[in-house]
Chain A
Amino acid sequence: MRALALALILALAGCGGTPGEGGNGESSIAVNTSDVGCIRDVAEGFKALFYDQGKVREAYETFVAEDYKQHNPMAQDGRDAAIAFLEPIYEDNPQHRMTVHRMIVEEPYIVVHLHGQSSPDDLGAAAVDILRVEDCKIVEHWDVTQSVPAETVNGNGMF
């Protein structure tokens, strides 16, 4: 149930972050070398502030356009709606954490494959966020979220 609850939180939030935790040495960023401009800076900056540090307001106000388009079916359009939803999650649960496992960056998209957990021993949920960047701001967001099962057929884990 906790995994499901987290999946719901992720689904509602669209994406997530963690205060002071998450992010690790396994993360890799594959950046298309033909990219110019700021998308790499946006990817690295948003990862650090939002996913790794859980600084919701700072991350969104720095990197997300006010009128960004939301495709998560349980969230409303716009930056302020996302901040209003996400901030209480972090305030209510300081153990809430996100671990970014891999990123793929190619104009105009940033793909983030992450593991969200409500506590360190929570099975949590796997998610992929896709962010579209225009004029150095995140202007559109899609995501897919799935609970992590206790056991898998192949034993490899979801990440």
Chain B
Amino acid sequence: MLPAKGVLPWNPEDPPFDPCDTSGREMLSTREVAERFIQLFYVEDNPTDAFTCWMHPDYIQHNPNAPTGRDATLAMMQASMKRLPDLTHEVKRVVWGSDDLVAVHFHFMRETGTRGHAIVDILRVKDGFIVEHWDVMQEVPDPATCKNSNGMF
């Protein structure tokens, strides 16, 4: 879904790049690859194009509940989105490393009106592909149980 204004350093409603243009991918920086993936996957909730365009077919998966490799993970996500058509990813902040890593902190909601999960994805980019993925996820608790009023984001 669209993140709050200013979270991403481009206009996600009208990105200044074609997010699925992979021509010359080897010339793209880590940041440029990540920007395109973020636009497709989190902003547009479009895992099919995000994975087809930017995930390496043999990318290494560290999510303990997902298979390794692009096609197997994409099939799992497509099944989820079919079952949960309102599933959304709302990016809260991105930390762009200069090297090969990017971290995306986002709010994942399977269904509208639920508290959802806080997730950090860490992506490793090489030669124009995302080649490795780690994540950590935690349920957002009931605000009444929280020790501060700041929220998880």
Contact = CB atoms under 8 A, between A and B. Distances in A.
Interface of A: 11, 28, 30-34, 69-77, 102, 104-106, 109, 111, 113, 126-128, 130, 142, 144-146, 148-149, 152-159
B66 A130 contact: no
A75 B147 contact: yes
Nearest to A140: B150
6 contacts: A70-B147, A102-B122, A104-B97, A104-B103, A113-B136, A142-B153
B84 to A, nearest CB: 19
A153 B64 contact: yes
Given A73-B145, A104-B96, A130-B105, 19 more contacts: A30-B99, A70-B150, A71-B152, A73-B140, A73-B152, A74-B141, A75-B147, A76-B147, A77-B150, A104-B95, A106-B97, A109-B93, A111-B103, A113-B122, A130-B93, A130-B95, A145-B138, A157-B62, A158-B136
B134 interface: yes
Contacts of A31: 97-99
A154 B135 CA distance: 14
B43 interface: no
A102 B133 CA distance: 13
B134 A113 contact: yes
A49 B119 CA distance: 26
Contacts, number: 124
A32 B68 contact: no
Contact of A32 (B97, B118, B140, B153): B97
B66 to A, nearest CB: 6
Contact of A145 (B96, B136, B148): B136
Q: Which of B95, B101, B119 has the most CB of A within 10 A?
A: B95
Nearest to A157: B62
B75 interface: no
Contact of B98 (A32, A72, A75, A159): A32
Contacts of A74: 141, 146-147
Interface residues of B, number: 38
A134 B75 CA distance: 42
Contacts of B137: 144, 146
A142 B104 CA distance: 13
Q: Report, nearest first, the 8 A-B pairs whose CB atoms are least far apart.
A: A30-B99, A30-B97, A152-B64, A32-B98, A128-B120, A154-B68, A73-B146, A104-B97
Contacts of B146: 73-74
A71 B105 contact: no
A94 B95 CA distance: 33
Nearest to A127: B136
B122 to A, nearest CB: 6
Contacts of B6: none
A58 B60 CA distance: 38
Contacts of B140: 73
